[in-house]
Amino acid sequence: MTSPRFVIPETFIAERPIRVTVVGAGGTGSLFLSELGRLDAALRVQGHHGMDVTVFDPDTFSPANFGRQMTTQGDAGFNKAIMVVGRINNFFGLDWRAVPEALDPARRTVGADLIVGCVDSGKFRYQLGQSCRGVRTDALWCDFGNGSDRGQIVIGHLGTPSRGQRLPNVYDLYGQELLAGDDDDLPSCSLAEALTRQKWAINQNMATAGATLLSTLLFDGGLDAHGALVRLNPLTVSPLMIDPAVWATFGYTATAADA
């Protein structure tokens, strides 16, 4: 068996918790955070220090979120980050933090080992990618993006690592295309209306695929694929391989990205 092409960063196996910043606790974010809580528990029973997680989200739950996100009907009007993180802390006995505010992309969440983006805003992804071009950091950026019945997950470097191979992030691969879908991000008044715009299973499948990639990095010590393309019908999860030839199909080259 060949070794993974991308080896787990030293910060993920240091003698301290992995510092994680999650942006968005809605459709995919709330479900992914639940997976992250289970992953944290699995790490700790194996002697790892687990994760130190901070979640940013300025939005509140609405009745339309019930059935699609980790929420109850009584949560309407309450902040998503506070409610989701509170449930995870109570269930797993953790002390993760909720920040009921938007994260300014220019802040770059300095000090985090892993940034997880679970937001509908292509503008946020674009601004975060632009602000981190050329910044020296070993942090990884895991980004979730999905539409009605399909989506993509990309794990890449937030900026430029101090050494070793650089994985392109979602901004490197998609660039201006990230801004194309924001006009379709409209609120729904009910679950029934929401389901006419987005298939019920897409968020859970995205969260599970992302958690699987992260668990592979942590438990197997590396990755052969640093992302996935998810489709519901027919149900397929196609890996985004760590391969310059694959990246070239997106128009990405290392020289252009580091310029």
Say if residues 221 and 2 touch (Cβ distance below 8 Å): no
**Is 230 contained in some domain?**
yes
**Is 4 contained in some domain?**
no
Q: What is the pLDDT of residue 181?
A: 60
Boundaries of domain holding 198:
9-258
Q: What is the pLDDT of residue 108?
A: 57
**Is 101 contained in some domain?**
yes
Better-predicted residue by pLDDT, 37 or 253: 37
Say if residues 154 and 170 touch (Cβ distance below 8 Å): yes
What distance in Å separates the CA atoms of residue 135 and residue 108, rounded to the nearest whole number? 10
Q: In 3-state terms, what secondary structure has residue 131?
A: helix
Which H or E run contains 132? helix 122-132
Instruction: At 101, list the tokens.
Output: 């505010």
Torsion of Cα atoms, 191 then 194 then 196 then 199, to 10°: -90
Which residues lie below 8 Å from residue 256, measured CB to CB, with a gap of 6+? none
What distance in Å separates the CA atoms of residue 33 and residue 228, rounded to the nearest whole number? 18
Q: What is the pLDDT of residue 194?
A: 41
**Is 18 contained in some domain?**
yes
What distance in Å separates the CA atoms of residue 246 and residue 257, rounded to the nearest whole number? 15
**Is 123 contained in some domain?**
yes
Residues found in the chain: 259
CA angle centred on 110, ends 58 and 160, rounded to 5°? 120
Torsion of Cα atoms, 246 then 252 then 256 then 259, to 10°: -100
**Is 2 contained in some domain?**
no
Better-predicted residue by pLDDT, 96 or 77: 96
Q: Residue 158, Cα to own-chain centre: how many angstroms?
A: 12
| CATH at residue 250 | 3.40.50.720
β-strand partners of 79: 60
Could you write out the three-class secondary structure of 42-104?
Answer: HHHHCCCCCEEEEEECCCECCHHHECCECCCHHHCCCEHHHHHHHHHHHHHCCCCEEECCCCC
Better-predicted residue by pLDDT, 63 or 259: 63
The secondary structure of the chain in percent helix, strand, coil, rounded to multiples of 5, reads 40, 20, 40
126 torsion bin: left (phi>0), alpha (psi -120 to 50), beta (else): alpha
Q: What is the pLDDT of residue 195?
A: 38
Better-predicted residue by pLDDT, 155 or 135: 155
Torsion of Cα atoms, 22 then 40 then 218 then 251, to 10°: -20
**Is 115 contained in some domain?**
yes
**How many structural domains is the chain composed of?**
1
Place of tokens 């990205």: 257
Say if residues 18 and 130 touch (Cβ distance below 8 Å): no
Digit-coded pLDDT (tens) for 184-238: 444 443 333 343 456 768 889 999 999 999 999 999 999 999 999 999 889 999 9
**Is 1 contained in some domain?**
no
